[in-house]
């Protein structure tokens, strides 16, 4: 939906006319995902990390349209749950290009993944000795990877800094021994660690330190096919932030890993899809108050959870054709959910909004629809996929009947 293909797409780069057409046809709130941009981001990763195994962290956006596009582009799939494994296989990822990297997997998940016809070709990552034992108890003797806790964490928020959180991975000092145990269960093909999500700026030093530790471990363990150092590469959510120098990150990663007899593997999620998506929402209420002008919109924390969950910033712009003629006004963008946290943005400057105005929320392609919920019994939004200028409905909007259909 734009001819430009810079390292990052800003909200202002989106052509407003086709977005207005989508809103007219499908209503709001609606997510729009540009599949051409997803593929362009994949190509940028492949160019920077030439020769590396590149997997998409499926949890960032599990839309069938996105998965099919990346499967066709030759990217692997990194799955955090049984449902994601099913989605990846259904979307056309060959089993040998699927890695199951679960955290404390429930028995139901393990039973499904290890019982599927594709299990023999999958790579199963274990993050605890007990998980390795559970895998062995189910008779799995295929491709194994050990997740390591490197003791180094970073990320855009404390809730997504994983590298030093005990929940994630085998403690570093135990990792080599667990790798040897894994060789007694199946075919140990790799080791894996992840420093956190939304890594950029000063956090890159922590990423480099983690990769350095993984290189040391790989040389100690030996005989591996790959060393996976996660993804977490950040994108600039604020208009004033600079894009990540992906080539420099790739060089730094290779330097930190050092000489290992294994391929480098990365598993980004956000970088593939964040700037490939926008959220369309409509103004339904304008309420002047002594403190600010509250602009009520039909998208809330059940539509886009990141602002409420992480205090995350998303750029917002008006898509109204006459917006340059309107006086900029400082507003609070509030959703329809009965929670104080249900504010998409505070102290934002927008052309004086009126009821019915169409707004676009930027960088909504990652962890947008994925984290949507039915809280307050609100139906989840629609998703429209765009490719080569054509728009199609990828996920229909839920109805009230959908919200209650599982109840008996």
Q: What is the pLDDT of residues 82-103, one digit of tens each?
A: 999 999 999 999 999 999 999 9
In this prediction, residue 204 has a pLDDT band, given cuts at 50, 70 and 90, of confident
In a domain, 22, yes or no: no
Task: Tell me what pLDDT residue 201 has.
Answer: 62
Task: Measure the CA–CA gap between 342 and 357, rounded to whole angstroms.
Answer: 20
Residue numbers annotated as active site: 338
- Bridge-partner residues for 199, per DSSP? 233
Number of structural domains found in the chain: 2
**Which CATH number is 318's domain given?**
2.40.37.10
Question: Same domain for 168 and 223?
Answer: yes
Task: Please enumerate in sequence order all residues whose Cβ is within 8 A of that of 289, keeping only pairs 6 or more positions apart, or say none.
Answer: none
Give tens-digit pLDDT for 26-57. Answer: 999 999 999 999 999 999 999 999 999 999 99
Question: Same domain for 67 and 154?
Answer: yes
Q: Indicate if the pLDDT at residue 222 is higher than 70.
A: yes
Write b or e for each residue in 218-239: b if 16 or more Cβ atoms lie within 10 A of its Cβ, otherwise e.
Answer: bbebeebbbbbbbbbbbbbbee
Task: Measure the CA–CA gap between 175 and 196, rounded to whole angstroms.
Answer: 19
Stretch 248-256: mean pLDDT: 91
pTM: predicted TM-score of the whole model, two decimal places: 0.93
Question: Same domain for 218 and 244?
Answer: yes
Query: What domain range is 385 assigned to?
Result: 275-404
Question: Same domain for 371 and 388?
Answer: yes
Task: Tell me what pLDDT residue 209 has.
Answer: 86
How many beta carbons lie within 10 A of that of residue 51, not counting itself? 9
In a domain, 24, yes or no: no
Task: Tell me what pLDDT residue 166 has.
Answer: 74
Question: Same domain for 231 and 354?
Answer: no
Task: Look at residues 229, 258, 273 and tell me which one is the last residue of a structural domain.
Answer: 273
Task: Measure the CA–CA gap between 39 and 35, rounded to whole angstroms.
Answer: 6
Task: Look at residues 273, 303, 337 and tell me which one is the last residue of a structural domain.
Answer: 273
Report the SS3 class of residue 325: helix
Any idea what the Cα angle at residue 78 is, between residues 75 and 83, rounded to 5°?
120
Stretch 74-83: mean pLDDT: 97
Any idea what the Cα angle at residue 110 is, between residues 106 and 115, rounded to 5°?
150
Question: Same domain for 334 and 301?
Answer: yes
């Amino acid at each position: 939906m734009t001819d430009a293909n810079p390292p990052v797409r800003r909200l202002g780069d989106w052509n407003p006319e086709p977005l207005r057409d989508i809103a007219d046809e499908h209503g709001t709130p609606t997510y729009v995902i540009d599949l051409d941009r997803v593929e362009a981001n994949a190509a940028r990763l492949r160019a920077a990390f030439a020769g590396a195994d590149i997997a998409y962290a499926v949890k960032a956006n599990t839309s069938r349209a996105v998965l099919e596009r990346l499967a066709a582009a030759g990217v692997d799939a990194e799955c955090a749950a049984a449902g994601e494994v099913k989605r990846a296989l259904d979307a056309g990822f060959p089993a040998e290009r699927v890695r199951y990297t679960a955290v404390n997997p429930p028995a139901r998940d393990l039973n499904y993944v290890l019982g599927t016809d594709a299990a023999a070709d999958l790579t199963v990552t274990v993050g605890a000795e007990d998980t390795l034992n559970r895998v062995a108890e189910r008779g799995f003797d295929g491709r194994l990877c050990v997740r390591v806790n490197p003791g180094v964490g970073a990320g855009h928020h404390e809730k997504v800094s994983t590298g030093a959180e005990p929940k994630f991975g085998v403690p570093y000092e135990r990792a080599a021994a667990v790798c040897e145990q894994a060789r007694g269960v199946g075919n140990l093909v790799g080791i894996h660690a992840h420093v956190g999500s939304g890594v950029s700026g000063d956090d890159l030093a922590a990423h480099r330190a983690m990769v350095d530790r993984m290189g040391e471990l790989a040389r100690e363990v030996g005989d591996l096919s790959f060393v996976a150092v996660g993804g977490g590469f950040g994108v600039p959510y604020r208009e004033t932030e600079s894009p990540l120098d992906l080539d420099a990150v790739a060089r730094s990663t290779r330097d930190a890993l050092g000489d290992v007899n294994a391929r480098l593997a990365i598993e980004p999620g956000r970088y593939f899809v964040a700037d490939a998506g926008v959220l369309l929402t409509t103004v339904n209420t304008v309420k002047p108050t002594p403190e600010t002008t509250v602009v009520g919109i039909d998208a809330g924390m059940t539509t886009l959870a990141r602002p409420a969950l992480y205090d995350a910033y998303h750029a917002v712009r008006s898509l109204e054709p006459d917006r340059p003629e309107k006086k900029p006004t400082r507003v609070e963008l509030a959703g329809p959910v009965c929670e104080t946290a249900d504010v998409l943005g505070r102290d934002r400057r927008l052309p004086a909004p009126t009821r019915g105005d169409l707004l676009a929320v930027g960088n909504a392609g990652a962890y947008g629809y994925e984290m949507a919920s039915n809280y307050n019994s609100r139906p989840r939004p629609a998703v429209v996929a765009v490719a080569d200028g054509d728009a199609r409905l990828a996920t229909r909007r839920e109805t009230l009947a959908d919200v209650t259909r599982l109840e008996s």
